[in-house]
Amino acid sequence: MFAASLATCVAFYAGRHLQRHDLDRAGLRVRTEFAMTTDRPARVASVQVTVTPPPGLSEQRRAALLAVASH
């Protein structure tokens, strides 16, 4: 649930950024992967978030989108 909610949050703010700049959100993808600790108590050890911008963004727009998503 934690990883899914993190991906949802990143996708929401990335989508809002695109919408605010009148850019198409079609093709925006956010994926998470996580690893659990091997000891107790059970907990998330690491999370990796991968943002795939929509196709056709300029390099400047792509960099801005990834900056928003990373914050």
Q: Which domain CATH number covers 24?
A: 3.30.300.20
Tens digit of each residue's pLDDT (9 = 90 or more) over 16-67: 999 999 999 999 999 999 999 999 999 999 999 999 999 999 999 999 999 9
DSSP one-letter string for the chain:
-HHHHHHHHHHHHHHHHHHHTT---TT-EEEEEEEE-SSSSP-EEEEEEEEEPPTT--HHHHHHHHHHHH-
How many domains would you assign to the chain?
1
Per-residue pLDDT, 33: 96
Structural domain span for residue 22: 2-70
pLDDT at 9 over 90: yes
